[in-house]
């Protein structure tokens, strides 16, 4: 039995890759603006972070696609807790949040192109009409619209308002993505 326990400890969980956006931590008006089901900004902050914690392991990577927090202390706490973050700057990310992100995150940019398991993905806070390799089944992930846009083919809103306040994994995206098989 002890041998089995040792083997289980050695078995490493596969690193997951997560995408999320639009937390607006500390932003009281976002509750009314997006019709979020919270009675207070404190409740909203708590639920969003708990949802993230419930999915993300310390070895996992997070691509955060903008609009983290209006409160620098909440942003600092986020970056200190979640170490493997790639930060895409949103329109509500202040210069102070951006400076903090540059100290704590693996990367900080306005636009990022990545490849996961051979899948090309363009990341931006905003939805795009066209993006690099769009006609070759590349994906575009975005936030900003809070679940109000109808996505184009190969495009997905990773913001919390579109995902029941949870991050979405690459594995889930593969299942949910409306794939363009025409390459038009």
**In the numeric block, which tokens belong to residue 17?**
């890759």
Q: Is the CB of residue 55 less than 8 Å from the CB of residue 48?
A: no
**In the numeric block, which tokens belong to residue 141?**
């992930």
The pLDDT value given to residue 176: 84
Beta bridge partners of 108: 87
Residue with tokens 């579109």, as numbered in its chain:
162
Q: Is the CB of residue 69 less than 8 Å from the CB of residue 26?
A: yes
Q: Which of 156, 157, 153 is nearest to 180 (CA)?
A: 153
Rounded to an integer, what is the distance from CA 182 to the centroid of its chain? Answer: 28
The pLDDT value given to residue 15: 86
Contacts of 8 (CB under 8 A, 6+ apart): none
The pLDDT value given to residue 151: 80
Beta bridge partners of 107: 86
CA–CA dist 40, 23 (Å, integer): 14
Using alpha carbons only, how large is the chain's radius of gyration in Å? 17
Q: List the chain residues with pLDDT less than 50.
A: 5, 8-9, 180-184
Q: Residue 86 phi/psi, 5° resolution?
A: -105, 120
CA–CA dist 100, 75 (Å, integer): 8
Per-residue pLDDT tens digits for 146-165: 999 988 899 999 999 999 99
Question: Which domains are delineated in the chain?
Answer: 14-176 (3.60.21.10)
The pLDDT value given to residue 184: 40
CA–CA dist 79, 163 (Å, integer): 21
Q: What predicted TM-score, i.e. pTM, was given to this entire model?
A: 0.89
């Amino acid at each position: 039995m002890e041998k089995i326990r040792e083997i289980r400890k050695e078995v490493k969980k596969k690193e997951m890759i997560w995408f999320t956006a639009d937390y607006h931590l500390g932003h009281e008006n976002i509750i009314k603006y997006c019709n979020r089901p919270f009675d207070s900004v404190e409740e909203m902050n708590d639920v969003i972070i708990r949802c993230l914690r419930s999915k993300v392991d310390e070895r996992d990577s997070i691509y955060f696609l903008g609009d983290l927090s209006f409160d620098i202390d909440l942003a600092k706490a986020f970056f200190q807790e979640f170490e493997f973050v790639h930060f895409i700057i949103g329109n509500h990310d202040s210069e102070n949040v951006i400076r903090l992100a540059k100290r704590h995150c693996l990367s900080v940019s306005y636009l990022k192109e990545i490849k996961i398991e051979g899948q090309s993905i363009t990341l931006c806070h905003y939805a795009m009409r066209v993006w690099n390799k769009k006609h070759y089944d590349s994906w575009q992930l975005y936030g900003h619209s809070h679940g109000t846009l109808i996505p184009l083919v190969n495009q997905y809103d990773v913001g919390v308002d579109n995902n029941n306040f949870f991050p979405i994994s690459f594995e889930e995206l593969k299942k949910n993505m409306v794939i363009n098989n025409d390459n038009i």
